[in-house]
Amino acid sequence: MRYRIRKFLKDDFLRHTGIMVAGTGLANIFNLLYQLAVVRLLSVDDYGVLNSLVALTVIFSQFSATFRPALTRFLAEYYGRGESERAGLLLRKAAVHLGLLSAIILVVFVLGAGPLARYQQIESRLYILLVGILVAVSTMAVIPDVFLWGAQRFKYLACLGASSTLVKLALGVGLVWTGWGVVGALAGYNACPLFVLIAGIVLIRFTGVGRGTGSKQEPGVSMAPVYRYCIPTALALFSFAILTNLDVFLVKHFFQPREAGLYSVAQIVGKIILYLPGAVSIVVFSKAASARARAADSFPLLKKGLIAVGLINVLATSVCALAPGTVLKMLTGKTDPESVRLVVWFALAMSLYALTWLNIFYNLSVHNTAFIKYLVIIAAAQAAAIYLYHPGLMSVLGFLNIFAFISFIVTLYFSWTDRRDT
C-alpha cells in the first residue's frame, strides 16, 4: 500500500489529476447545491428563463473563452522551457487586450438587450444586461485562470475554483430565497468570475511566478501567435458551445414556457455529467502542451484521460438509467414524468460530449487543428436539424445524442491519426 501511495505521489499526472478532481469535485458539489436550491425556489417557468440565459452566457462567452486554451498553451510552453519572463510579459499584454474585449461586449449587450429579450420570450431587458455583465467579467477572469493553469499551479487553481463557486452558492441562493428571483440567481453567477478575478490577481502577486525582471533585456513577446492560435480555437470552442447549449436556446424559443422549463430541469442531470470529469481535461491540456514543447510523446496522457472520463461517465449514466426519477428528485425536487423521461437521454448525450471535450482539448494542446472544420459542420448540422424538425422534446434529444456520438468518433479519429503521423 505504501508503495502504491509513493508511486501515486511521484506520478505528476495522477497527483495533479487528484488535486483537480478534489477541487472541481468541491466546485461541482457547490454548483449542485446551487442548482438544487434554485430549481426548488424558482417556478418551472422562471427556471426555464434562467437556464436559457445561462445557455446564452455560455455561447457568448466563447469569444473570450478562446483565449483560455490559447494563452494556456503558450504559457505552458514558456514555463516548460523555463522562460518565466516571457510568460509574465505575455500575461500582461493579454490583460490589456481582454480588457478592451470586455468593454466591447458590454456595448453589444446594451444595444442588443431588447431584441434578444423578445426572441427568447423574456419580459425584462435587465436579465440580458446582467448576462452582458457576466460575460464581460468572465472575460477578464481568464487572466488569473490561465496563469495558474499554464504554470501548472493546480493546487491554487483547484482552491480558486472551489472558493468561487462557494461564493456563487451563498450569494445567489441567499438573494433568490429573499425574493430576488431570476435577478438574484444571475447575481450569484456574476459573483463567481468577479471573485476569480480579484482573488486570482492576489495569487499571481503572491506566487511571484510570471513577473519579469523589469530590465531592459527582458525578452519581447508578441500576441500575434496567440491570435493565430485563437482563430481555430475559437471555431472549436464555439462549435462545442453550440453542440451543448443551443438546444436549450431553441427549445425556449419554439416551445411553451412550461415545456422549456421541464426540459431545463432534466438538463441539470446532463450538465452535471458533462462537467463532472472536467478536471481530467484541464490536466491533460497543460501537460500535453508542455510535453510537446519538450518534444515528448503526449498521446499516453490522452489514453489515461479517456479511461478516467469513460469510467466516471459510465458509472453516472448507469445510475441515471436505473433510477432516473430518483436522481431527478434528489437533484431538483421535481418529478414530472416528462422530465424523468428525458434524464437518461441527457446523461448519454453529455457523457459522449464529455469525451469529445477531452479530445478537443488534447488536439488543441498539441496544435492539431485538422478536426475543427468537421466539428463546425457537425455543430451546424445539429443546429439546423433541431431548428427545422422539433415536433417534441424527445426529437430534440434524439438529435443531441446522434451528433454527440458523431462528434466523439470524429475527434477521437483525429487524435489517433495525429499520433500516427508524429
Nearest to 49 by CA among 152, 182, 144, 148: 182
6 within domain boundaries: no
Place of cell 496563469: 147
Q: Which regions in the chain score pLDDT beneath 70? A: 1-14, 16-17, 21, 207-220, 293, 418-422
> What's the burial of 108, exposed, middle or buried (CB within 10 Å: 0-12/13-18/19+)?
middle
Helix (H, G, I), strand (E, B) or coil at 160: helix
Evaluate whether 357 touches 363 at the Cβ level (below 8 Å). Answer: no
Nearest to 346 by CA among 51, 15, 3, 38: 51
pLDDT at 45: 83
Helix extents (H) in 120-152: 125-140, 142-150
5 within domain boundaries: no
pLDDT at 232: 84
259 within domain boundaries: yes
pLDDT at 226: 81
Evaluate whether 24 touches 279 at the Cβ level (below 8 Å). Answer: yes
As a residue count, the chain comes to 422
Place of cell 509513493: 6
Residue 20 domain boundaries: 11-213+222-421
pLDDT at 315: 93
Q: Phi, psi (5° rounding) for residue 331?
A: -85, -35
Place of cell 445567489: 172
Nearest to 33 by CA among 176, 141, 247, 182: 176
Cell numbers for 346, please give them: 441527457
4 within domain boundaries: no
141 within domain boundaries: yes
The full DSSP string for 272-317 is HHHHTTHHHHHHHHHHHHHHHHTT---HHHHHHHHHHHHHHHHHHH
Cell numbers for 9, please give them: 505521489
pLDDT at 408: 96
- Number of domains observed in the structure of the chain: 1
Evaluate whether 337 touches 383 at the Cβ level (below 8 Å). Answer: no
CA dihedral 22, 306, 243, 106 (to 10 degrees): 40
Q: Phi, psi (5° rounding) for residue 209?
A: -80, 135
